[in-house]
Chain A
Amino acid sequence: MSFFEVKHLSKSFGGVQAVNDLTFEVNKGEIFSIIGPNGAGKSTVFNCINGLYRPEQGKIVFNDKNLCKLRPDQIAQEGVARTFQNLELFKYMSTLDNILLGRHLKMKAGLLGVLGLNIKNSRAAKEEIKHRRKAEEIIEFLELEASRERPVFSLSYGKQKLVELARALAMEPNLLLLDEPAAGLNNEERQDMVYWIKDIRDEFDITVVIIEHNMQLVKDISDRILAINFGKKIAEGVVQEVMQNSEVKRAYLGEAID
């Protein structure tokens, strides 16, 4: 029984078969990349895992549960966090508030906690301190100190991507899905991203699944790679294996003309 499994997943939009009978597994503690040309169905796979789309066929098994039967918020509660290709942030909130919102699932204090809010050492106060401390830890880890109080929309694109990553980490997920984490970043930022993603796996013990177009980043970071085209698996394995695969080359470079 592997950590995370996708079995015979199919999803179509009208006549377009976006994902076609796709099966793969991710092991615990892996950094697993999904590559493929534009329109290969990578994001559709993520959206199925997250519950944004309902696949027509197949199962996605995590924690012994079929994620295809759950709502997005329930999937988040199972410990699956994600970032987006086109950022989905709470733009007018500060960096800190965005991260604290990622703690939402872990918060317990309801209306009753409110009444004890000013009492030192009350349950609510202790909880608040705990969440703030965790948020500060993440801010320190991703070096976001300078952006802490600034509204997110005023930050640079690279920083916004980090805030989204920070919010996902705040959920303390077991599985982290990153949709094009390096898109739109400059070289230096991309290097940092590689380093952070590896650290996330090593220090926080989080299994990471990545969709990425930047081959250098994929090579630097991945334990294993899945290549798809037209919604179908064309190769799966360790980096060298997949990069050497003739079908992968053809998908990326086109058919050779004799």
Chain B
Amino acid sequence: MIGQLIINSIVAGSIYALMALAMSIIYKASEIPNFAQGEMAMVSTYITFVMLHFMGFPFLLALIGTLVFAFILGFLFEFVFIRRAKDPTLLGYIIITLGFQMILYGLAAWKWGSDQRTFNLPFSESKLIYESDAFVLTEHNLASIVIAIIVMSLLYLLLKKTKLGLAMKASQLNSKAARFNGIPTNRIVGISFGISAVVGAVAGILVAPISTLDPGMMWDPLMKGFAAAVLGGLKSLPGVVFGAFLLAIIENLFGFYISLEFKSIVSFAIIIIVLYMKPSGLFEKHYVRKV
């Protein structure tokens, strides 16, 4: 049984990690916790659904189309709503993201209805590819893990090895200095929102087959991702990934050994404990200011 718990934890951790990364990318770029992240992913998932089931696109084309859509959605969200805010406070920003979340939720419910639909991918969540006494592994399980690893590797390359990654880091550290070194910081923040939305969309596509496709589908993954990000330290991408897997393991062990009913409360308990003990997260570097 413990083998199955570990597999479940890795699969859940992969999805939490994608949501947590999505939040973290935006938080690093702009210090805004984006609560519209889940709904942005949900709308993107509906776009995949429409392209697959109504327009009959092959999966790969639908996927690429969705990622392009997600990037534009994220970029426009920053360009139209966030950038326009005049002398905004953090609270103001949070209200903007909550407002955008409600807009997207309402739009999705109006356009596609709020009934729960089944969403099928080429990799099925009922077909087993490995079966033993210790654990079973479905196609969807394996695909989730592989896709999460691919996304993380691409993100690593993008942030560590490209000019864009360097520009993003510079803008985060000192946006004024970055601008005077020739970096268009506004555009960099917009691009960060776009990339974050793409990562979130991948999470949405992976979540839909195992839950259902409906406008509220991303609430739970978002809160889990947020908890994982807080646990790992919102600004450290490796920390956030570690936090996601740690959260998934704690959650699954708690659910099996202690109480399945209270399983989803674990993530909130973790947020509270982390905020009490180490507010900057387990992994964030904490510099002491030299006076």
> Which B positions have Cβ atoms within 8 angstroms of A?
157-158, 161-164, 166-167, 170, 173-174, 176-185, 285, 287, 290
A88 to B185, CA, bound (A): 15
Task: Across the interface, name the chain A residue whose C-beta is closest to B188.
Answer: A73
**Chain A min CB distance to B268 (Å):** 31
Chain B residue numbers with a CB within 8 Å of A76 are: 179-182
A97-B129 Cα distance, complex, nearest whole Å: 47
B180 near A114: Cβ-Cβ < 8 Å: no
In chain A, residues 86-136, which have Cβ atoms closer than 8 Å to a Cβ of chain B?
88-93, 101-102, 104-105, 107-111, 113-114, 117
How far, in whole Å, are A188 and B158 apart by their CA atoms in the complex?
A: 44
Which chain A residues numbered 27 to 62 have a C-beta less than 8 Å away from chain B?
A: 50, 52
Which residues does chain A contribute within 8 Å of B166, judged by CB atoms? 101, 104, 107
20 contacts between A and B (CB under 8 A): A50-B180, A73-B183, A76-B179, A76-B181, A84-B177, A88-B174, A88-B177, A89-B177, A90-B177, A91-B174, A92-B285, A104-B182, A105-B181, A105-B182, A107-B166, A109-B162, A110-B162, A111-B157, A153-B290, A171-B181
A84 CA to B161 CA, complexed, in Å: 29
Contact B174 A167 (CB under 8 A): no
Q: State A88–B167 Cα separation when bound (angstroms).
A: 16
Residues of B within 8 A of A107 (CB): 163, 166
Choose one: A73, A89, A102; the contact of B174 (CB below 8 Å): A89
Tell me, in angstroms, the Cα distance from A94 to B158 when the chains sit together.
21
Q: Nearest chain-A residue to B154 (Cβ)?
A: A111
**A72 → chain B, closest Cβ, in Å?**
4
Given A92-B287, A154-B290, verify A104-B181 contact (CB < 8 Å).
Answer: yes
Cα separation A92 to B163 with both chains bound (whole Å): 19
The one of B170, B184, B287, B290 that contacts A101, using a Cβ cutoff of 8 Å: B170
Q: B170 contacts which of A52, A81, A104 (Cβ < 8 Å)?
A: A104
**A77 at interface, CB cutoff 8 A:** yes
Distance, CA A82 to CA B182, complexed state (A): 11
> Is A71 in contact with chain B by the CB < 8 A criterion?
yes
Give the docked Cα–Cα distance between A109 and B167 (Å).
13
For the complex, give the distance between the alpha carbons of A123 and B269 in Å: 51
Separation of A153 and B174 alpha carbons in the complex (Å): 13
The residues of A with any CB-CB pair to B shorter than 8 Å are 50, 52, 71-74, 76-77, 81-82, 84, 88-93, 101-102, 104-105, 107-111, 113-114, 117, 153-154, 167, 171
The interface residues of chain B lying within 8 Å CB-to-CB of A110 are: 162-164
Docked CA distance A105–B174 (Å):
16
What are the residues of chain A within 8 A of B285 when measuring CB–CB? Answer: 92
Expressed in whole angstroms, the Cα–Cα distance for A148 and B185 within the complex equals 26
B176 near A90: Cβ-Cβ < 8 Å: no
Q: For B161, give the chain A residue with the smallest CB separation.
A: A114
State the 4 A-B residue pairs at the shortest beta-carbon distance, nearest first. Answer: A76-B182, A88-B177, A105-B182, A72-B179
> In the bound complex, how far is the Cα of B172 from the Cα of A210, in angstroms?
29
Among A81, A90, A92, find the residue whose CB has the most chain B CB atoms closer than 10 A. A90
Pick from B173, B181, B184, B185: contact of A91, CB below 8 A.
B173
Q: A74-B182, A109-B163, A111-B157 are known contacts; what are 17 more A-B pairs with Cβ within 8 Å? A: A72-B180, A73-B180, A77-B182, A84-B177, A92-B285, A92-B287, A101-B170, A101-B181, A104-B167, A104-B170, A104-B183, A105-B181, A110-B162, A114-B157, A153-B290, A171-B181, A171-B182
A167 touches B157 (CB 8 A): no
* Cβ contact of B184, chosen from A73, A92, A167, cutoff 8 A: A73
Q: How far is the CA of A124 from the CA of B290 in the complex (A)?
A: 38
Contact between A111 and B162 (Cβ–Cβ < 8 Å)?
Answer: yes
Chain B residues contacting A89 (CB-CB under 8 Å) are 174, 177
Interchain CA distance A90-B287 in the complex, whole Å: 14
Task: Report the separation of the CA atoms of residues A90 and B179 in the bound assembly, to the nearest whole angstrom.
Answer: 12
Q: Whole-angstrom distance from the CB of B41 to the nearest CB of chain A?
A: 24
Tell me if B176 and A88 are in contact (CB < 8 A): yes
B177 and A73 contact, CB distance less than 8 A: no
Closest to A90 in B: B173
Nearest CB of B to A154, in Å: 7
Q: Tell me the bound Cα distance from A84 to B183 in angstroms.
A: 17
Q: How far is the CA of A72 from the CA of B186 in the complex (A)?
A: 11
Bound state CA distance, A111 and B158, in angstroms?
Answer: 7
Task: Decide: B180 and A82 in contact? CB cutoff 8 A.
Answer: yes
Complex Cα–Cα for A77 and B180 (A): 9
| A105, B177: Cα distance in complex, Å | 13
Instruction: Give the residue name and chain of the A residue nearest to B157 (CB).
Output: A114
B180 touches A88 (CB 8 A): yes
A104 near B185 with CB under 8 A, answer no
Given the complex of chains A and B, what is the CA–CA distance between A104 and B167 in angstroms?
8
- In whole Å, how far is A116's beta carbon from the nearest beta carbon of chain B? 11
Closest to A105 in B: B182
Docked pose: A151 CA to B285 CA in angstroms: 13
The interface centre, meaning the residue of B158, B177, B185 with most chain A CB atoms within 10 A of its CB, is: B177
Q: How many whole Å from B153's CB to the nearest CB in chain A?
A: 11
Q: How far is the CB of A167 from chain B (nearest CB, A)?
A: 7
- A110 to B162 alpha-carbon distance, docked (Å): 5
